[in-house]
Chains A and B, each alone.
Chain A
Amino acid sequence: MNVVMIFSPIEMASASILLLLVFAALAGLLSRAQSVLIGLFSVVATVASALASAAGALSVWNGTAERIILLLGLPDLPFHLRLDPLAGFFLTVIGLLSAAVSIYSAGYLKGFLGQRPVTRLVVFYCLFLAGMAMVVLADDALFFLISWEVMAAASYFLVMFEDERPETRKAAFVYLVIAHVGAIAILLSFGVMAGIATGFESFGGYTFDAMRQASFPLGWATAAFLLAFFGFAAKAGMVPLHVWLPDAHPAAPSNISALMSGVMLKTAVYGIIRVTFDLLREFPWWWGAIVLGLGIISALMGILYAMMEKDLKRLLAYSSVENIGIIITGLGLAMVFFSFKLSVLASLALTASLYHVMNHAMFKGLLFMGAGSVLHATHERNMEHMGGLIHRMPWTAALFLVGCISISALPPFNGFVSEWLTFQAFLLSPSLPSPLMKLFMPLGAALLALTAALAAATFVKAFGVTFLGHWRGEHSSSRIHEVDWLMRTGMLVTAVSCLCLGIFPATFIDWMDEIPLQLVGSRLSVSATASGWMWLTPVAQERASYSGIVVFAGSLLVYGIVYILLHVNPGKLHRGAIWDCGFQKLTNRMQYNATSFSMPFRRVFGFMVHVKEQVTLSPQTAHAAFPKRLHYTLRIRDRFWNWLYKPVADASFWIARKVGRLQQGRIQSYLIYSFVTIIVLLLLAAL
């Protein structure tokens, strides 16, 4: 507690960033002693993350904003840092997951010893963490964009870590392009806001404070909002700007994937909240409707693609698209409610959304770490070659299962709480004055329900095919072993957080109560936690209530009683071979695998994704009724790639070719170009 009294939260956060930056600068000195480097790196990163997390948690708890002005950057344009409850909340989430992942990394990076140096990974990992913390702390457009670029560039190099594979290079390139298209949009949005705040002649408008005090005309505000939303949506991986995500996240080492999916996407959510609720503050309802609609589309498309996937890490990446969709849906609801001045309902929707931010960080981090452990042990990402790992890796299996249950929104784990809160927010839509919104809201709720049900199916598949049944791989599974205790600890921390967030929701909602109060002007805890820490009652006790702890304790109690009653005088338990209907030639390849599991889903929902299925007979076949060999090919492609990206890519190549004609290599024509340019500029200046 002494530390707390001596240092304020923002000082703790700055110290943590400084620690990471210094370590990143010095890590190169240790590149000769790789195992020392990994150990030291893990300790430093864990301590720094824990410090950042504590700083964030304290600042949310205090409910006040603190500032620091750094005399760095351009002359007369110092960097502003500010830690308010919203930033503190995101800092807590980032810090908590980074701490867990940093512990995990110590074990995970040991797998690279003797194969390749990890110095580059360590350096950019630290820069990446520092960048994310700086993004949420930034209080002016300049520092925000610099931090944003640090984060994007560092993550680019992290994705490129295994750059000998061409698909990694392609994934990283697409990621870089989309990240920068997004960054340009964000830059323009800040430009618009700064320009309106203090006029286009002055530079003073670049601080967020100046933007907060300005009042924006609707047209300019809409332009700023749409640009910012586009930019942040590209970073968050919302449909249709998601195509980089399922390539880039799996290409990175798994600890990086955990961070990218778990928290980097959340910085984009933070950006949207900051721009809409804090900087622009007043907006018409249809902004919320756009956000809500795109959120639901993301959620649905993301989970459909995840369902079709057979690569474990790509499946998780697509599921991130889905979860970001759910978060954005909650945000859209909050915006709609807020624009109609229904501040209590807005605070409910915003809390649901933020709660899901926290939940998704925890379970997606856990799942990516689990997938990393599987990859570490089997060197396999394709689920079709896995199976039965629960016997070889019992810890990883149990922890991964916790993640699967949480992400499938099943009680009493955490995913259910945010889903439940979002549903409650949807059910309050009759209080909206707009009849149009009233009609469409329930449909949104239904699509959200469909998403949740598909998520459960997807994660039954992910867990079932990877960990249950028999080993499907070609080489023997006897060399597969459980991962070391460091990796298990990292996963355990997130798994325990999942459970705690699930059974003590009222406590956490009490903690983060200041955020909705400051952003939408109403606190939830007056009603939500009014009946004590055990009960969650969003509006009123008789309207709806949920108690995670009672459900959890009740389940344990009932299972225990049933188990004991049955084992007072138990019958015998025999182990036997699988019943094979007398066929006697069952092989492990006759199990259901990922492709066959998703077959009914392809039939039912296939019209929404691009599925191409083909069965060909081998040429030696004498008669079609008695094929010697069948070849089955299945291609599932992202529709948006052809619809949206290919035209843009083709068009830019076309323009580049046309523009390329200017370059003929003759000095005379270049001199003419320069001359014409000067004339045009002079004319413009004269006008």
Chain B
Amino acid sequence: MTVNQIVMECLQIALLIAVAPLFVGWVRMLKCWAQSRSTASLFQPYRDLLKLFSKDVILAENASWIFRFTPYLVFGTVILSGAVVPMLTTKLPLSPSADVIVLVGLFAIARFFTALAGMDIGTAFGGMGSSREMMVASLAEPAMLMAIFTVSLVNQSTSLSHIAEVMYSGHAVLKPSLAFAFIAFILITLAETGRIPVDNPSTHLELTMLHEAMILEYSGRHLALIEWAGMMKLFLFMALGSALFVPWGIARSDSLLMGLMAGVLLLLKVGASGVVLVLIETGLAKMRLFRLTEFLGSAFLMATLGMLSFFILE
């Protein structure tokens, strides 16, 4: 573990924290353009967060410690996940502590506590959100693991850094299994980050809420943490896609210059993925809750096809 590696680790976490709201601003801007609306500033998400942080917190009378602890847990867990996904370099000192299955587990524990917080107050909305979110997760998680397993089988590793390195070395490109896994991964990203057609991040209409229903009772700095964590999760999924499927540009050494270039490239890649995200979101309508089974089922099918084609064709 060299000093450079530790510096890179810190830089990467700082990048995640700092740039995630910018990315959300960018996606919102693109969406406005695509729907010919006038746009807010690119920096609006920062202002929203700042506003929330400076407000007082209002807690329901019967909120327990779980409700107050959850925002910190969610925020912390996303940062921890950000520390293991190779964004700037594959030589991250924390990378061996968690592989891609642990990463899925980290997302799961954040979701577990968010769902509990939704039930803590005892309103119908909270429980409804928790129940729906856990249902969607129970379908999305196996599909996600299948997609990841396909990539792991191709690269013979579940360690994210190692997957990126093997992909680099070139003998894993253009395989049908990876193509299927990639499609599955896109579908799951939409589900996991609560985008259309699974969930609508900008809705507050009771019948369609999933994630928003769970966090309805939050306010002030608690809400700010949860919102910020949501932005980071979106950014992180883009970075994860980049590390798993298109790792080109991520530094394979601990040189700071390479890391800087990797950072610039990452922003370009993530920015481009934002365009794809907006095209999907603009082109599709929000699905009914019980049609999500088909959506997530097809994600699962894609991942399974990827795995089968790995065993049959490769």
Residues of A within 8 A of B (CB): 387-388, 390-391, 397, 401, 405, 408-411, 416, 420, 423-424, 426-427, 430, 435, 438-439, 442-443, 445-447, 449-450, 452-454, 456-457, 460-461, 463-465, 468-470, 535, 541-547, 550-551, 554-555, 558-559, 562-563, 566, 570-579, 586, 588, 590-593, 596-601, 603-604
Query: Min CB distance, B290 to chain A, in Å?
Result: 6
User: Chain A residues with Cβ under 8 A from B307's Cβ?
Assistant: 442
A453-B140, A468-B122, A591-B124 given; name 7 further pairs at CB < 8 Å: A420-B101, A464-B130, A550-B94, A554-B80, A573-B57, A579-B217, A604-B139
Query: Smallest CB-CB separation from B105: which chain A residue?
Result: A411
Q: Are B225 and A562 in contact (CB under 8 A)?
A: yes
Query: Min CB distance, A570 to chain B, in Å?
Result: 8
Query: Min CB distance, B209 to chain A, in Å?
Result: 14
Q: Are B152 and A427 in contact (CB under 8 A)?
A: yes
Query: Min CB distance, A399 to chain B, in Å?
Result: 14
Q: Are A463 and B73 in contact (CB under 8 A)?
A: no
Query: Min CB distance, A565 to chain B, in Å?
Result: 10
Q: Are B56 and A469 in contact (CB under 8 A)?
A: no
Q: Annotate B116-143 by CB proximity to A: 1 below 8 A, 0 otherwise.
A: 1011111110111011101101111110
30 A–B contacts, CB within 8 A, in A order? A420-B105, A423-B101, A426-B149, A430-B311, A442-B311, A447-B142, A449-B146, A450-B138, A453-B142, A457-B135, A463-B116, A469-B119, A535-B97, A543-B162, A545-B96, A551-B106, A559-B76, A563-B72, A566-B53, A571-B54, A572-B57, A574-B58, A576-B58, A578-B121, A578-B122, A579-B217, A591-B122, A592-B130, A597-B131, A601-B135
Main SS class of interface, B: helix
Q: Are B119 and A464 in contact (CB under 8 A)?
A: yes
User: Which of A446, A457, A463, A576 meets B142, CB within 8 Å?
Assistant: A446
User: Chain B residues with Cβ under 8 A from A545's Cβ?
Assistant: 96-97, 99, 159
- In the complex, A540 Cα to B234 Cα: how many Å? 31
Given A575-B59, A597-B127, A387–B122 Cβ distance below 8 Å?
yes
User: Chain A residues with Cβ under 8 A from B75's Cβ?
Assistant: 558, 562
Given A592-B124, A600-B289, A411–B66 Cβ distance below 8 Å?
no
Given A449-B142, A456-B138, A596–B149 Cβ distance below 8 Å?
no
Q: Which of B59-111 contact A (CB under 8 A)?
A: 59-66, 72-73, 75-77, 79-80, 83, 94, 96-99, 101-102, 105-106, 108-109, 111
Query: Min CB distance, B110 to chain A, in Å?
Result: 9
User: Chain A residues with Cβ under 8 A from B220's Cβ?
Assistant: 571, 573
Residues of B within 8 A of A (CB): 53-66, 72-73, 75-77, 79-80, 83, 94, 96-99, 101-102, 105-106, 108-109, 111-112, 115-116, 118-124, 126-128, 130-132, 134-135, 137-142, 145-146, 149, 152-153, 156-159, 162, 217, 220-221, 225, 289-290, 293, 300, 303-304, 307-308, 311
Given A408-B112, A554-B94, A577–B99 Cβ distance below 8 Å?
no
Q: Are A424 and B119 in contact (CB under 8 A)?
A: no
Q: Are A547 and B96 in contact (CB under 8 A)?
A: yes
Give the one of B61, B106, B108, B134 with max A CB within 10 A.
B134
User: Chain A residues with Cβ under 8 A from B158's Cβ?
Assistant: 424, 427, 543-544
Given A571-B221, A596-B131, A457–B94 Cβ distance below 8 Å?
no
User: Chain A residues with Cβ under 8 A from B293's Cβ?
Assistant: 604
Given A430-B153, A551-B80, A388–B122 Cβ distance below 8 Å?
yes
Query: Min CB distance, A348 to chain B, in Å?
Result: 13
Q: Are A446 and B72 in contact (CB under 8 A)?
A: no
Q: Are B128 and A390 in contact (CB under 8 A)?
A: no
User: Which of B59, B142, B303 meets A573, CB within 8 Å?
Assistant: B59
Query: Min CB distance, B117 to chain A, in Å?
Result: 9
User: Chain B residues with Cβ under 8 A from A390's Cβ?
Assistant: 64-66
Q: Are B98 and A546 in contact (CB under 8 A)?
A: yes
Q: Are A411 and B60 in contact (CB under 8 A)?
A: no
Query: Smallest CB-CB separation from A429: which chain B residue?
Result: B153
- In the complex, A439 Cα to B305 Cα: how many Å? 11
Query: Min CB distance, B228 to chain A, in Å?
Result: 10
- In the complex, A396 Cα to B1 Cα: how many Å? 42
Q: Are A559 and B73 in contact (CB under 8 A)?
A: yes
- In the complex, A397 Cα to B66 Cα: how many Å? 10
Q: Are B122 and A588 in contact (CB under 8 A)?
A: yes
User: Which of A397, A456, A588 meets B134, CB within 8 Å?
Assistant: A456
- In the complex, A566 Cα to B52 Cα: how many Å? 12
User: Chain B residues with Cβ under 8 A from A559's Cβ?
Assistant: 72-73, 76
User: Chain A residues with Cβ under 8 A from B135's Cβ?
Assistant: 457, 600-601, 604
Given A390-B66, A547-B97, A601-B135, A576–B119 Cβ distance below 8 Å?
no
Q: Are A465 and B139 in contact (CB under 8 A)?
A: no
Query: Smallest CB-CB separation from A574: which chain B residue?
Result: B58
User: Chain A residues with Cβ under 8 A from B156's Cβ?
Assistant: 543
Q: Are A410 and B153 in contact (CB under 8 A)?
A: no
User: Chain B residues with Cβ under 8 A from A575's Cβ?
Assistant: 58-61, 63
Query: Min CB distance, B191 to chain A, in Å?
Result: 12
- In the complex, A316 Cα to B75 Cα: how many Å? 31
Q: Are A427 and B94 in contact (CB under 8 A)?
A: no
Q: Are B157 and A420 in contact (CB under 8 A)?
A: no
Query: Min CB distance, A582 to chain B, in Å?
Result: 14
User: Which of A470, A562, A597, A604 meets B290, CB within 8 Å?
Assistant: A604
User: Chain A residues with Cβ under 8 A from B123's Cβ?
Assistant: 578-579, 586, 590-591
Query: Min CB distance, B217 to chain A, in Å?
Result: 7
Query: Min CB distance, A329 to chain B, in Å?
Result: 15
User: Chain A residues with Cβ under 8 A from B120's Cβ?
Assistant: 464, 468-469
Q: Are A603 and B290 in contact (CB under 8 A)?
A: yes
- In the complex, A539 Cα to B223 Cα: how many Å? 42
User: Chain A residues with Cβ under 8 A from B61's Cβ?
Assistant: 575-578
- In the complex, A401 Cα to B159 Cα: how many Å? 30
Query: Smallest CB-CB separation from A408: which chain B residue?
Result: B112
Query: Min CB distance, B180 to chain A, in Å?
Result: 13
User: Which of B53, B72, B108, B308 meets A410, CB within 8 Å?
Assistant: B108
- In the complex, A571 Cα to B220 Cα: how many Å? 8
Given A550-B97, A554-B83, A596-B127, A456–B72 Cβ distance below 8 Å?
no
Query: Smallest CB-CB separation from B134: which chain A residue?
Result: A457
In order of increasing CB-CB distance, the 7 nearest A-B pairs are: A592-B127, A469-B122, A464-B119, A558-B76, A457-B134, A550-B97, A449-B142
- In the complex, A456 Cα to B303 Cα: how many Å? 22
- In the complex, A457 Cα to B132 Cα: how many Å? 10
Give the one of B73, B94, B128, B158 with max A CB within 10 A.
B158
User: Chain B residues with Cβ under 8 A from A445's Cβ?
Assistant: 145-146, 149
Give the one of B124, B127, B217 with max A CB within 10 A.
B127
Q: Are A555 and B77 in contact (CB under 8 A)?
A: yes
User: Chain B residues with Cβ under 8 A from A446's Cβ?
Assistant: 142, 145-146, 149, 300, 303-304
User: Chain A residues with Cβ under 8 A from B139's Cβ?
Assistant: 453, 604
- In the complex, A424 Cα to B156 Cα: how many Å? 11
Given A442-B146, A562-B75, A579-B217, A601–B138 Cβ distance below 8 Å?
yes
Q: Are B115 and A574 in contact (CB under 8 A)?
A: no
- In the complex, A592 Cα to B159 Cα: how many Å? 40
User: Chain B residues with Cβ under 8 A from A461's Cβ?
Assistant: 131, 134
Q: Are B137 and A457 in contact (CB under 8 A)?
A: yes
- In the complex, A535 Cα to B308 Cα: how many Å? 32
- In the complex, A390 Cα to B63 Cα: how many Å? 10
Query: Min CB distance, B119 to chain A, in Å?
Result: 4
User: Chain B residues with Cβ under 8 A from A449's Cβ?
Assistant: 141-142, 145-146
User: Chain B residues with Cβ under 8 A from A550's Cβ?
Assistant: 94, 97-98
User: Which of A408, A470, A574 meets B122, CB within 8 Å?
Assistant: A470
Query: Smallest CB-CB separation from B106: which chain A residue?
Result: A411
Q: Are A558 and B138 in contact (CB under 8 A)?
A: no
Q: Are A590 and B124 in contact (CB under 8 A)?
A: yes
- In the complex, A393 Cα to B145 Cα: how many Å? 37
Query: Min CB distance, A671 to chain B, in Å?
Result: 68
User: Chain A residues with Cβ under 8 A from B122's Cβ?
Assistant: 387-388, 468-470, 578, 588, 591
- In the complex, A103 Cα to B21 Cα: how many Å? 52
User: Chain B residues with Cβ under 8 A from A543's Cβ?
Assistant: 156-159, 162
